[in-house]
Amino acid sequence: MPGAPELFAGTDSYTSIFVSDINGDGLLDALQTNKSNTITHLVQDAAKKDSFSVVASTLNSISVGHHAMLFVRDLDGDGLREMIVGRLTGQLLLYRQKSATSFDFGAPIDTAFLRIRDFGSDASMVAADIDGNGRLDLLIGAITQYDDPEGRVLRLEQAAPGSLRFDLVADPFSGIICGGWPGLGLHDIDGNGRLDLLLGNAQGLFKRYEQTAARGTAFAIVNPLFNRGMDLPGNASYPAFADLDGNGRLDMVIGTSNGAIHHYEQDAAGDTTFTVVGTSFSGSGGGYYPSVSFTRDPLSQRLFMYIGRGWKVEQWLQDSAQPRTFSWVREVPGITSFSYAQPVAADVNADGTADLLVMHQDGGISLYLGASTSGTEHAAADPSFSLGTAYPQPASSAIQTPVRLAREAHVRVDLVDVLGRSVALLHDGSLRAGEHILNADVRSIPCGFYLVRAMSGTETSVTRVVIERE
């Protein structure tokens, strides 16, 4: 409102504020997150006054990242308040007050509260058996918080050959630190038996790392500007490699932010320089940040190309007469990403057929198992449904939540508080395959932090909601 006084100084577009009498002294405390990634503590100047003063510019040295939101309440009734911090990456941190009159919340007592786990917004992924032990490795470029220069590469490894479980084994992997918007590519580019890892950034620049020994898990940087002089577009996405025409020279295919897919070819076998062939590979462009993965059909020996485009994944097949040309086959059914799906083709369960790992924009990974030797069918191995982001955020009177199903199923969707108690039912019954918008009236629900929880069979998916009123 024009002319209204500023209640909390120093707020910006990254600010969220929680107000409560935290230490029981009769004065309201305000905890304010901001662009500096910290929590500022302000206290009311006097009871019933509308002015606050800063008492600590950095509460407990807690780093929350950009766009963080927090909530304080005594969750378990022990007289000590818990503080829940929701970070942009989807991570929930749980802190506990050290005494009833203290502002010391100490270190987080749970860094994966309510078991929400992801790899951050706009993460990327590659898959290969790096160390040759028969277990697939996933390398993930993870953005830990918005615009964080200290993003990193993680390594997960299959629990056993053919297992659908992956365990985190290195964080960061080989000490590799990356900036925002990391794009990964993995291939033995120079043919020396050691894998090369390309690590890209938002400007379309790539660093090249190489295994220090064949089948080793250590990588070292060998070229800080791999694509110097290659005229890669800005905001290049994830590079994919294959020798498309069998001439001994690798082809590199990269999607870009404007929807184009660029094609490059190695200058000579074993070389680490590439020259542009075209900027509209096989006529397969379109969408925002398309990403590509190749796998070979064991029967025809032709390549399948999977393109992640928005929330869908498409399958294309190589032309036997013109190996640099691919024809559209179909949209892969059952893919339940809401945006920026990045497909990675790999035989995860070791049955001889190509499976699809799909990295979603919110950092989650879904696995779709190949159901035929032709590689043209895939069945979801984990969530057959997913929830989109509930809106508006914050909500005051009603929320809408998108849910997408790969197939018809009975689904229960409810709104739960931080203790997991249901406070509103959005749906309990059968839903057809496709996308649905579920509505909930929240006018009678107290302000605070909640989750929309969807359950079907043994599967559960959640998305966060904040209810707030003036």
Dump pLDDT digits (tens) for 17-70. Answer: 878 888 888 888 888 887 667 888 889 889 888 788 888 888 877 777 656 777
Rounding to the nearest 10 degrees, give the CA dihedral for residues 138, 136, 319, 189.
Answer: 70
Q: Is 78 exposed, middle or buried (0-12, 13-18, 19+ CB in 10 A)?
A: exposed
Q: pLDDT tens across 269-319, in order? A: 999 989 888 888 877 665 667 889 998 877 778 899 998 877 778 889 999
What is the distance between the alpha carbons of residues 353 and 345, in angstroms, rounded to a whole number? 10
Under-50 pLDDT residues of the chain:
1-9, 11-13, 89-90, 111-117, 146-147, 338, 373-376, 380-383
Per-residue confidence (pLDDT) for residue 359, from 0 to 100: 77
**What is the CB-side half-sphere exposure of residue 312 using CA atoms within 13 A?**
10
Per-residue confidence (pLDDT) for residue 68, from 0 to 100: 73
Per-residue confidence (pLDDT) for residue 52, from 0 to 100: 86
Q: Please, which residues have CB within 8 angstroms of residue 76's CB and are 6 or more apart in sequence? A: 82
Contact predicate 399/160, CB 8 Å: no
Per-residue confidence (pLDDT) for residue 457, from 0 to 100: 72
Q: Please, which residues have CB within 8 angstroms of residue 309's CB and are 6 or more apart in sequence? A: 286, 287, 288, 290, 341
Contact predicate 120/363, CB 8 Å: yes
Tokens of 76: 């378990």
Buried b (16+ CB within 10 A) or exposed e, 1-36: eeeeeeebeebeebbbbbbeebbeeebbbbbbbbee
Question: How many other C-beta atoms are found inside a 10 Å radius of the C-beta of residue 217?
Answer: 17
What is the distance between the alpha carbons of residues 329 and 376, in angstroms, rounded to a whole number? 9
Query: What pTM value is reported for the model?
Result: 0.59
| Paired residues of 448 in beta bridges | 467
**What is the CB-side half-sphere exposure of residue 448 using CA atoms within 13 A?**
18
What is the Cα gyration radius of the chain? 25
197: amino acid identity, one letter: L
Closest among 401, 407, 399 to 378, alpha carbons compared = 407
Q: Please, which residues have CB within 8 angstroms of residue 115's CB and are 6 or more apart in sequence? A: none
307: amino acid identity, one letter: I
Q: What is the SS3 assignment for 464?
A: strand
Q: What is the SS3 assignment for 284?
A: coil
DSSP code, position 324: T
Per-residue confidence (pLDDT) for residue 298, from 0 to 100: 72
Per-residue confidence (pLDDT) for residue 201, from 0 to 100: 74
Tokens of 334: 């059952």
Q: What is the SS3 assignment for 310?
A: coil
Contact predicate 82/76, CB 8 Å: yes
Q: Is 258 exposed, middle or buried (0-12, 13-18, 19+ CB in 10 A)?
A: middle
DSSP string across 329-387 = EEEPTT---SS--EEEEE-TTSSSS-EEEEE-TTS-EEEEEE-STTS--EEESS-SEEE
